[in-house]
Amino acid sequence: MTREPIYAGLFAILLEATGLNPNQCSRRWKHFMDVPPEQQPCLFQTQEREMAEQRKGLPPKWSIDVSLHIYVWAPTPTTIPSQLLNPIVDAIDTVLAPTPGPQNVNTLGGLVAHCWISAPIQYYEGALGQQAVAVVPISIVTA
């Protein structure tokens, strides 16, 4: 497995799908308190965990976990933050949807065997004032 093309490919696909400003997004995580409102919405992709499964006579199959941290700032105290988060999460869901067909997988354009949103998406809104955060867990399996 060659890691960098996988992580870079995922990030590029996500930026294109969400339409977020690439100058405000990064693979280097920042806490939302370190991102001023004028630099939001933004997305940070973090590598979380990798695990190899040894297979007799075959190369290892890797399971990779990635987290996406999405930050939005509501322009007014009466703006509902989830209304700003939902289109971004929808775009991620759409771009990671499996391709139609018998295999029903998303290969990130042939980089991996499968990539998907793998666990509950966590939302933090309202309690943070005008700041809202979504954390989207992504799982990847290599060929």
**DSSP letter at 106?**
-
Closest Cα partner for 94 from 116, 119, 69? 116
Task: Give the count of domains, the chain.
Answer: 1
What domain range includes position 92? 3-141
Q: What pLDDT digit, counting tens, does each position of 38-86 carry?
A: 999 999 999 999 999 988 888 889 999 999 999 999 998 888 888 999 9
Asked if 85 and 91 count as a contact pair (C-beta separation under 8 A), the reply is: no
Q: Does 103 have pLDDT greater than 90?
A: no
The average pLDDT across 2-25 equals 94
Query: At 32, which CATH number?
Result: 3.30.2000.10
Q: Quick check: helix, strand or coil at residue 121?
A: coil
Give 90's pLDDT tier (boundaries 50, 70, 90).
very high
C-alpha distances in Å from residue 41, one per residue of 27, 37, 58, 89, 133:
15, 8, 43, 12, 10
CB 20 within 8 A of CB 42: yes
Using a pLDDT cut of 90, give the percent of the chain over it: 71
C-beta of residue 24 within 8 angstroms of C-beta of residue 39: yes
Mean pLDDT of the chain: 92
* Residue 98: band (very low, low, confident or very high) from pLDDT cuts 50, 70, 90: confident
